[in-house]
Structure 1
Amino acid sequence: MKMTLQNSNYFLGRIFDPKADALSNDPLLLDPSNLTTHAVVTGMTGSGKTGLCIGMLEEAALHGTPAIIIDPKGDLTNLLLHFPSLLPSDFEPWIDPELARQQGESVPQLAQETADKWRKGLADWGMGPEQIQLLADSAEFQIYTPGSTAGTPVNIVSSFAAPELPWEENSEVLRERINSTVTALLGLIGMTDIDPLRSREHILLSNLIETAWIKGQSLSLTDLILQVQNPPMPNLGAFPMDSFYPEKDRFSLAL
């Protein structure tokens, strides 16, 4: 069971009082209803852009709002490190031995310092183990790693599997799924900015998958490549297959 906060606003921190040169006790809140279109966070290096975004993402999780995070640098995977007990042993597996060596410390010593730093930092903001546990319980976290098994691999081939949904009752939804799958597949071979209604590659592949799915048949990538060379249908619409997409050109696509 997911636990979420009742307060509808996102807590981003406390307001800084420039006259007192100190943080006030007034919270800085964000109404999530404002996050309906695009946004950009700008600032100098080290100014806190990533920290702000992490705070917003954690607040989104606490409020039960799902998020898809595309992270080419790998900075945000630390969002999954939740240590409610804040024990040094929790941090130790994630301590860089080289960093510890450079600081003249052992890994356990640096883990202890890191745990103490986290505990103090959270306490300074009025947070403790309960809030960390709430965050861990508020959402299901999953890391997808295209081209790697470090997380959950992303495999486009699984998209060729015949769906369990009946075709007749769900043809419109399933055709949209085929459209996006074929667009992604062609993008992998460098074909971008294509028109699904005019691209003969898109039309051919879409029809091959649709024909298989109507029969309840799944396709492997090998099956699809072979069917590109020898399609199971003689025509595409009113056009004979070899007139619409000559065999020589289909062979080039298969390669």
Structure 2
Amino acid sequence: MKNLILLFAFTCFLTSCNVTESIIFNDSQSGQYLVTYQMGDAMKAFTEKMGGGSTDSEKKEKGEVMDTTMVFAEIMETYKDSIASLPEEKRLAMEAVKDMFMTMKMDEGESVMDIGIGLNFNSIDDLKNIQEKIQKVQSLNGQGDQLNAMKYESPIGKFMGSDDENVIYNMTAKGFERTTSTELSEEEMQSTDKLFDETDESDKEFIQYFEESYYNVELTFPKAVKSVSFEGAEISEDRKTVKYKANWIDYLKNPLLLDVKVEFVDE
């Protein structure tokens, strides 16, 4: 369990590499929500910068491969005695996320490291507090104080995303909406372009690092899609899956950028 929590600490540090938010809906509006943090490129760059890296032959011999799913309810049952002795805040956080799961896919030889946090939901109403649940999962890591200091007191903090937004999902027989609710005032929203100072060397370095990072959204429906409000969105051949993305820096400047309206084909 300790290794699991430490892994989440690392995930929180690099959440901005490439993020994919995926929702698959069934006919009954049940389905699966999964947000995946793809950190392979960042790990490779960090290893090379630190003087690491391996030849192709070494990769074949030493590359670790992992593909697993862990269910929090099962973890809680296995480690129930340890969890019972946790501070109340941590114990309540574990209780709040017991219906969630975590996926890990790693292939060192191919520079792949994907970590996902997901929920199998019975109704779209179960997604009302999904961001809060994800934050609770991240709060379980053993390095929470250091991460908070990094986020709120260091130059990289503003590149790690905000906790001030809440995404609301709604689906009817006619369509689907993804809408962002934010605590920012209209004046603050209009000044988000000032979030980064491109004349500051530290900001310039981080902007360059994240310029190829994206927040991806993938939505799969039981009905065919007629139209999508997001310009440039891709619709699958069977017209049931929608994919679109925004540059991470652009998304940080405007948290409403990924809002979308999807209209279904009349049946």
Q: In which range does the TM-score fall when normalised by the shorter chain?
A: under 0.3
Greater length-normalized contact order (CA 8 Å, ≥ 6 residues apart): 2
User: Relative to total residues, which structure has the larger helix share, 1 or 2?
Assistant: 1
Q: Which has more strand, going by share of residues? A: 2
The two structures have a TM-score, normalised by structure 1, of: 0.21
Larger-Rg structure: 1
